[in-house]
Amino acid sequence: MTPAIAVRGLVKRYGRRTVVDNVDLTVMPGRVCGFLGPNGSGKTTTLRLICGLLTPDGGSGTCLGEDLIAGRAAIKRQTGYMTQKFGLYEDLSIRENLEFAGDVHGIADLRARVDAALDRLGLAARQHQLAGALSGGWKQRLALAACVLHAPRLLLLDEPTAGVDPKARRDFWDEIHALAATGITVLVSTHYMDEAERCHEIAYIAYGKLLARGSAAEVIAASGLVAWVATGEGADRLAIRLRDAPGVTAAAAFGASLHVCGPDQAALAAAIAPLRGAPGIVWQEAPATLEDVFIHLMRQVPDNAGQG
């Protein structure tokens, strides 16, 4: 099976700053791949390189079997790209926006397709409202509907659920999985850990470099992180005393409990040893979380944002 995305050594520079630094990425058809990383890590730039909105300064590859540069037009025809900022026309109605997208893609039975999309969205009754009048969650769902109208084989979604309430996020992800079930490949960038866990696989990028790849469980296992959880009265307040201790990557309070992690089992045990005598607090070993891994990875890479 040909991969939906297969790029090697992608590089994009702005002036002296390397925003995407030698990124390799392969995604097989029908997979939902989560694209994670801190702000300014190059997620958006990578997505734009893949869909032909930016010209890479280095690297090569294929997207849906077409060459990344020579096949740009063919890639655009079969790809749906949802921008981070709402990219539809706020002064056009919901229906007009969908019809515009359909016309540009040359869809044959446009009327029926738009009707079907409106029904699926549950926006048939509001189709003549201006898109700008929709709430954030509805705007995102409309944007998604507009970029899947032409039945693309690849979906690139750039932080589609930023600023959207949990219910709308859940609906949005149900739709993504429904689309993936029909064979569409999805590459979706996000900041949310729960969303990362809903992906088949994840790719973690920081400061332009791809740092981790695989399923959530694989990424956690590969990190080699270990963790402890402390519960009991006042456990959360210990976070501040552990944060800078040697052997501790992160110590964070979750409600009344404390979650501590570190790369080395013995060092972490030594770090928490002085606190274990506190009365009423129970310490337990726990699996590391995806969030632990990302904080750990971020600390390892020197910040190159200041070099520009």
Q: Give the interface with another protein as residue ranges (CB under 8 A).
A: 48, 51-55, 73, 76-77, 79, 81, 83, 85-92, 96, 99-101, 103-106, 130
Choice between 90 and 233, CB closer to another protein: 90
**Sheet order of strands, 250-254 included:** 250-254, 257-262, 226-232, 281-286
Please report how close the Cβ of residue 69 comes to another protein at its closest, in angstroms: 11
132 vs 130: CA distance, rounded Å: 5
Closest CA to 187 of 56, 25, 32, 303: 32
Of 27 and 149, the one with the shorter C-beta distance to another protein is 149
Q: Which is nearer to another protein, 25 or 75 (CB)?
A: 75
CB of 8 to another protein, least distance (A): 20
| Residue 85 Cβ vs another protein, minimum distance, rounded to whole Å | 4
Give 5 or 268: the residue with its C-beta nearer to another protein.
5
State the Cα–Cα distance between residues 139 and 143, nearest whole angstrom. 6
Q: 58 or 87, CB closer to another protein?
A: 87
Minimum CB distance to another protein, residue 93 (Å): 8
State in angstroms the smallest separation of the CB of 72 from another protein.
Answer: 8
